[in-house]
Amino acid sequence: MSKKIFTYILLFFMLVLLPGMSWYYLQKGSNFYKKMMSELQDLGPVPAFEWQNSKGETLTSTRLKKQVSIAQFASLPEDRISVDKMKYVYDQFNDNPFVFFYTFSKENQDSTDYYKEYSQLLKGKKNQWTFIQMNDSIYDDFYQKITLPQENALILLDTAANIRNFYDINDTLQMNKLITITSIIMPRGEKEDIIYEPEKEK
């Protein structure tokens, strides 16, 4: 191959192929981002509340701002599997200071014992998962205000504490989608991006 032909090929690669490939991958990433963002809904702010968590600390709805929150309602001990499935999502963000998790349940001895047991699994992690127990009437009232589309749905809240969507905890595809969207909308700080391996559907 002559030097002239090699120069033409190199110029073609640098001036045509390389910009074209760059545009293609940028466009592909942009389309993916738009698709994910288009699935977010504006379902209004989370109802105002002021409760104590399992450690006796006061938690208010204003605390949910400036962070991404993922929440669930769980009747314990029956819903142990649901809590375990939320831990799959939690494990993707368990050292991220901008993503927090909340489990709401009715106040009873079973849930108290379960929270103590479960807290051992989170030992050594930052305080990102809060367990909140409520009396029956407060729990039922709050549950009705949220209006879940199905039982065991996870609730995604944005940095303004607005409900953006619900995700079926029994659907692996939706769980992976929740992880992806959370990593997109969470605030950015001096921190590496979340890297995760989607769980395979069974």
Contacts of 100 (CB under 8 A, 6+ apart): 64, 67, 68, 69, 70, 128, 129, 130
Contacts of 188 (CB under 8 A, 6+ apart): 98
Q: Write down the pLDDT at residue 125.
A: 58
Average pLDDT (96-125) is: 76
The span from the CA of 6 to the CA of 110, in Å, is: 75
Up-side HSE of residue 171: CA atoms within 13 Å toward CB? 12
Tell whether the model's pLDDT for residue 124 goes beyond 70.
no
What does the DSSP 8-state code read for residue 62? G
The span from the CA of 102 to the CA of 166, in Å, is: 14
pTM higher than the cut 0.75: no
- The most confident of 40-49, 127-136, 166-175, by mean pLDDT: 166-175
